[in-house]
Amino acid sequence: MAISIGRGLLKLPIEQLPVFEADDLELRTNLGGCELPNPVVMAACYHQPWIIKKASKMGFGAVTLKVTKNPRKGTKPNIVRREEGFVNCVGFENAGMEKTREFLKGYEGVPVILNIAGDSIDEYCEVIEDLQDYTDMIELNISCPNIENGLYFSENPKQARELFREANNVGKKPLIVKLSRGENQEIISHAIDSEIGIVNYANTLPVKEKRLPMGFGGLSGPELYEDTIRIVKKIRKEFGEDLYIIATGGIDSGEKAYRAMESGASAISYVTGFITRGPFLAREINEYLLFRK
Ligand SMILES: Cc1cc2nc3c(=O)[nH]c(=O)nc-3n(C[C@H](O)[C@H](O)[C@H](O)COP(=O)(O)O)c2cc1C
């Protein structure tokens, strides 16, 4: 019900209020060759053009749009509240490559990251080749815990290496690997060997959840935060300063975003905070980051 109310409020023209931009040269961020106005990214969740268009005017430095080759339907009920966060099994509900291309052709706004998932390497590559001229960055989602085969590449590092190589062969835009929760050393090494310079730590955490149709889903929100900080620190220490890291999981305040950046993140992203804390959070985080500079 809360999500429906939130979406209803989002339909009002609030993005026209002159309150979202925290425009400051000091916030500008280079993310693997792509210039963002600030380091606060809307993480993958949405596929609806109207939400992406609105979010692009709500203070984010980039917005993420998810897509698969063919349109996919979601499951219902698909999201339930757990403490301050959610458990979801929305899968990859999206309009598919063709409709997404039409939307992107007319899009104007902050940089777009396309979050791509697929059942095979060919499917990922087809979407990259088809859509890359209309986007700024491409995120390989190998970490969706709540659909069949969603974790396939995360759990099979050799296959992941193949995917990274092929994606890098066809890809002209900066590539990001969206990691699953855990240590990921082998996967990150394969990404770097394939000249992929950006990782996003991380997707949701698989948990049992009786209220969802499949009996499990992906946990998001504050319960993930300490894991996000711990692993971001570890990745930065092990893989050095050249790797770009997006910290994702449980960030819902300026202080939490700042700590993630101090722990080694090059940028931060969130979804749950957008739903629970509302559309002003990106501005709040950017102001806090400026205040701590
Ligand atoms: C409803 C919902 C849908 C999501 N869909 C995707 C997706 O399609 N691709 C993806 O890589 N991550 C997806 N995520 C994961 C988020 O991008 C993010 O990694 C995760 O929620 C942790 O961040 P948070 O605690 O700020 O929400 C989704 C999360 C939620 C809550």
Query: What CATH number is attached to the domain comprising 280?
Result: 3.20.20.70
Residue 42 resides in a domain: yes
- The residue range of the domain holding 36 is 24-292
pTM: 0.95
pLDDT surpassing 90 at residue 90: no
**For a pLDDT cut of 90, what percent of the chain falls above it?**
81
Residue 237 resides in a domain: yes
Residue 156 resides in a domain: yes
Residue 283: per-residue pLDDT: 94
Contact 143, 211 (CB under 8 A): no
The overall average pLDDT reported for the chain is 93
Q: Average pLDDT, stretch 160-170?
A: 97
Contact 260, 247 (CB under 8 A): yes
Residue 157 resides in a domain: yes
* Per-residue pLDDT tens over the stretch 202-228: 999 999 999 998 899 999 999 999 999
Residue 32: per-residue pLDDT: 97
Q: Average pLDDT, stretch 238-264?
A: 98
Q: Average pLDDT, stretch 29-52?
A: 96
C-beta 203 within 6 A of ligand 1: yes
Residue 150 resides in a domain: yes
Query: Beta strands of the chain (E only): which ranges?
Result: 29-31, 34-36, 40-42, 62-67, 79-82, 85-88, 112-116, 137-141, 175-178, 198-201, 205-208, 216-220, 244-248, 267-270
C-beta 248 within 6 A of ligand 1: yes
Residue 76 resides in a domain: yes
Residue 15: per-residue pLDDT: 76
Testing ligand 1's pocket by substitution, the residue of 4, 40, 41, 45 carrying the most ligand atoms inside 8 A of its CB is: 45
Residue with CA closest to ligand 1 atom 23: 249
Distance 169 CA to ligand 1 centre (A): 27
Residue 77 resides in a domain: yes
Rounded Cα gap, residues 229 and 201, in angstroms: 9
Residue 23: per-residue pLDDT: 74
Residue 3 resides in a domain: no
Domain total for the chain? Answer: 1
